[in-house]
Structure 1
Amino acid sequence: MNILFVGIGSIAKKHIAALKHLGVEATLYALRSSRQSEPYPGVVDIYSYDELSQFHLDFIIISNPTSEHAATIRRLMHFQVPLFIEKPLFADCKHDDIVAYIKQHRILTYVACDMRFLDALRFVHDYVDARYDQLKINEVNVYCGSYLPAWRPGIDYRTCYSAIPELGGGVHIDLIHDIDYVYWIFGQPSNSYAIWRNVSSLGIRAYDYANYNLEYPTFCVNIVLNYYRCDAKRTMEIIFDDCTWTLDMLKNQVTDHKGKVVFQSEQQGSETYVAQMAYFLSLLKKKQTMSFNSSEEAYQV
């Protein structure tokens, strides 16, 4: 198997670790922007799109900055090779032609929202999906807050793409997991409203706060995202008629309003990367042309 990486930063290294964990025998290539780029062990560097015609690539992992995704996919889609695209798909919604081309040519794409493979989140998804017509949901509240300076120890957070709007930084894009799983569980809302602000003392230009309200026929979802919460919290609260469930992503568990544990998993966060890679490889093996988070669906999100 031959796999190309476009972008070989911290996220790409998680995907490499997942491939190794799964025992995948592959030659790994990386498309580098400079011959002075630091090599990564076990990865063959190439320096031009023109070189790609020399290789039979089984799939391509796009894990460069979000701001570069559109241009990268535009260059690669004509090879008609399956694309594993790190979230989010794009930095903006101005690329209808790319999505249309991929759909027309039936190119397999998967946008890597690994939280869809978190056990507790999958439990809630499956529960709601099986009973959607019978459940009475009154309200859903989603919260994701963490401290950007603690994300990458030893690195000035103000120099990372998360803090720089031109690179696709900002909570409204960077923390798209929480919008994505709401879409995955409850479907596309009928209306949406958003507030994006820069309100903290982090000293960055990217948005550090976002608040969304999504309208569904019988309930609303409120989503709050931020970069400045020192005590990390990532939860979803679903208020049913007869009880309230709280899904704690950091604990990988679901509890009810009485504190009873409804679901608990010992799965570690890094295991979601292994699970999603196994899922994508299964699509390749079956020669599928559609994933459960294709470029078309991710573009809607």
Structure 2
Amino acid sequence: MKVCFCGLGSIGKRHLRNLHTVAHEQNLPLEVHALRKTHTPLDDTVQALLSRQLFEERELDSDYDIAFITNPTSLHYDTVKAMAGRTEHLFIEKPLFDSAWYRLEDLKLNPQGVSYAAGPLRFSPVIQKLGEILSREPVYSVRVLCSSYLPDWRPGDYRKVYSARKELGGGVALDLIHEWDYLVALFGFPQTVFRVSGKYSPLEIDSEDLSVYIARYPDKAVELHLDYFGRVPRREIELFTESGTITGDLFANTVTFTDGRERIHYEEEENESYLREMRFFLSHVESGAAYSNLNRCLAVLNIALGKEQA
């Protein structure tokens, strides 16, 4: 299997390692190229996973099985367009793009291939357990919070990371699109969404540090709060039901209940969700059947950016 990574920052390296792990499990041979924009040396463990490093688009081959789009969000659309004729399948890191107004049909993707936009929280055991519960228990209100302090979350000079820079696709609406992604996975698309978003804290960034949404469904309301300035990291979803409140804590990997049911705790590392996602993606590639979630992810992007109501 011949693969090209376009961008090899922290998330690209994670996917590279996980690709090798899953390929080894499935006895899939790999030849991995990496198209990079910097000549900064990679550490030895990462270099050992690559067959070639490329620094110009003209060095790319035209017969890749998979291209991983793992560069800054602002570059995704142009990179996908450049790779569309060079690869059978695509894995695009979240969020899909930095704008909701791009047209997928202009990309001329392989209609027989797999075009997948990432969303690892769909594969979280907490979210998967909540999905099971929802099949049995009606929910009439949902409250979601994702809050962390950007200088702690992005080590080093937080002012220089992509999260802090609007032109690179930073800001909580895009950076924390995981929440809308799993909400749509659990409940489908809302009827209407109201959003308040902007820069409110003293953080030295030019991207928005707060987005708050109220979404209306036929049978429920959803509140979603995303921020970069919460000093205590929290990533939680609360489901209000007739029997009580069910809370999924995505940092603690727990599901708790107020009605006396036993607390559930999943003992696993964060990377396990990413590995499940990689297995899911490769299973579709290996199946030979066409698959795409790009239209869905573009619609999620519309909601996150407040461009239109679903």
Q: Fold-level match, TM-score > 0.5? A: yes
| Change over 3 Å in CA distance of 1:106–1:196 after alignment to 2 | farther
Stretches of structure 2 that go unaligned for 5 or more consecutive residues are 301-310
**Deviation at 1:101?**
3.8
**CA displacement 1:159-217 (0-9 Å, x = unmatched):** 00000000000001100000110011000111111111211121211100110111100
Superposed CA RMSD: 1.9
Residue matched to 1:203: 204
| Change over 3 Å in CA distance of 1:227–1:261 after alignment to 2 | farther
From 8, 13, 27, the equivalent of 2:31 is: 27
In structure 1, how many angstroms separate the alpha carbons of the residues matched to 2:7 and 2:157? 20
Q: Does 1:140 align with 2:117?
A: no
Residue matched to 1:240: 241
**CA displacement 1:49-95 (0-9 Å, x = unmatched):** 333335x3120110000011011111112335210000000111111
Stretches of structure 1 that go unaligned for 5 or more consecutive residues are none
The amino acid of 2:3's aligned partner reads: I
The amino acid of 2:115's aligned partner reads: T
From 87, 92, 110, the equivalent of 2:99 is: 92
**Deviation at 1:261?**
3.3
**CA displacement 1:123-166 (0-9 Å, x = unmatched):** 112332x34xxx4322100000011111233x201000000000
For structure 1, which segment, 81-90 or 117-126, has the greater mean C-alpha deviation from structure 2 after superposition? 117-126
The SS at the match of 2:88 is coil
Q: How does 1:115-134 map to 2 (within 5 A)?
A: 115-128=121-134, 130-131=135-136
**CA displacement 1:248-284 (0-9 Å, x = unmatched):** 1111111112464353211211111111111111111
The amino acid of 1:10's aligned partner reads: S
Residue matched to 2:17: 17
**Deviation at 1:288?**
2.6
| Change over 3 Å in CA distance of 1:100–1:10 after alignment to 2 | closer
The SS at the match of 2:4 is strand
In structure 1, how many angstroms separate the alpha carbons of the residues matched to 2:106 and 2:175? 21
Residue matched to 1:7: 7
For structure 1, which segment, 77-86 or 212-221, has the greater mean C-alpha deviation from structure 2 after superposition? 77-86
| Change over 3 Å in CA distance of 1:280–1:223 after alignment to 2 | same
Q: How does 1:29-68 map to 2 (within 5 A)?
A: 29-34=33-38, 36-39=39-42, 40-42=46-48, 43=50, 44-53=52-61, 56-68=63-75
The amino acid of 1:243's aligned partner reads: G
Residue matched to 1:299: 298
In structure 2, how many angstroms separate the alpha carbons of the residues matched to 1:253 and 1:41? 36
Residue matched to 1:215: 216
| Change over 3 Å in CA distance of 1:175–1:167 after alignment to 2 | same
| Change over 3 Å in CA distance of 1:231–1:261 after alignment to 2 | farther
8 Å contact kept, 2:65–2:87: no
For structure 1, which segment, 105-114 or 219-228, has the greater mean C-alpha deviation from structure 2 after superposition? 105-114
The amino acid of 1:4's aligned partner reads: C
In structure 1, how many angstroms separate the alpha carbons of the residues matched to 2:222 and 2:106? 27
The SS at the match of 1:82 is strand
Q: What fraction of aligned residue pairs are identical, expressed as a percent?
A: 32
* Residue correspondences, number: 291
Residue matched to 2:187: 186
